[in-house]
Amino acid sequence: MPFLRHRHILALATLTVFSLSACTSEQEVEDKIEAPRFVKLAKVSHAPAFDEFTFPAVVSAVKTVDLSFEVSGRLVQMDLVTGSDIKKGKLLATIDRQPFERRVDEQRTRLAQSKRELDRIEKMFSQSLVSQSALDSAKTSYELAVIDLKNAEQDLSYTRLYAPFDAKVSQRLVENNSFVAAGTPIARLQDVSKIYFNINVSERLLTANLGRGIKQASATLATDTSQWYPINYVEHSTQPDPVSQTYEVVFSMEPRNDLPLTPGARAVVKVSLEGTPYPDSLVVPVKSLVEDEANQFGVWVYDEKTGTVSKTPVTVNHIEDALAVISSDLSAGQSVVAAGASQMRNNMKVRPYEGEL
Contact 299, 335 (CB under 8 A): no
pLDDT cut 90: percent of the chain above it:
54
Q: What pLDDT is stored for residue 69 in this prediction?
A: 95
Rounded mean pLDDT, 103-122: 96
Domains defined for the chain, CATH in brackets:
35-47+277-350 (2.40.420.20), 50-59+192-271 (2.40.30.170), 63-183 (2.40.50.100)
Q: Which residues 6+ apart lie within 8 Å of 176 measured at CB?
A: 75, 76, 77, 78
Report the distance separating Cα 92 and Cα 69, nearest Å.
11
pLDDT cut 70: percent of the chain above it:
90
For 147-204, write each residue's pLDDT tens digit.
999 999 999 999 999 999 888 899 999 998 999 999 999 999 999 888 999 999 988 7
Q: What pLDDT is stored for residue 33 in this prediction?
A: 56
Neighbour tally for 24: CB within 10 Å: 10
Checking if the pLDDT of 27 tops 50, the result is: no
Q: What pLDDT is stored for residue 17 in this prediction?
A: 46
Task: Please give the mean pLDDT across all residues of the chain.
Answer: 86
Q: What pLDDT is stored for residue 280 in this prediction?
A: 80
Q: What pLDDT is stored for residue 1 in this prediction?
A: 46
For 46-63, write each residue's pLDDT tens digit.
888 777 889 999 999 999
For residue 47, is it left (φ>0), alpha (ψ between -120 and 50) or beta?
beta
Checking if the pLDDT of 210 tops 90, the result is: no
User: Which residues does residue 313 pair with via DSSP β-bridges, in sequence order?
Assistant: 298
**Which residue type does 26 have?**
E
Checking if the pLDDT of 355 tops 80, the result is: no
The whole model's pTM is what? 0.62
- Helix ranges (H only) for 158-307 are 203-208
Chain Cα centroid distance, residue 233: 12
Q: What pLDDT is stored for residue 114 in this prediction?
A: 95
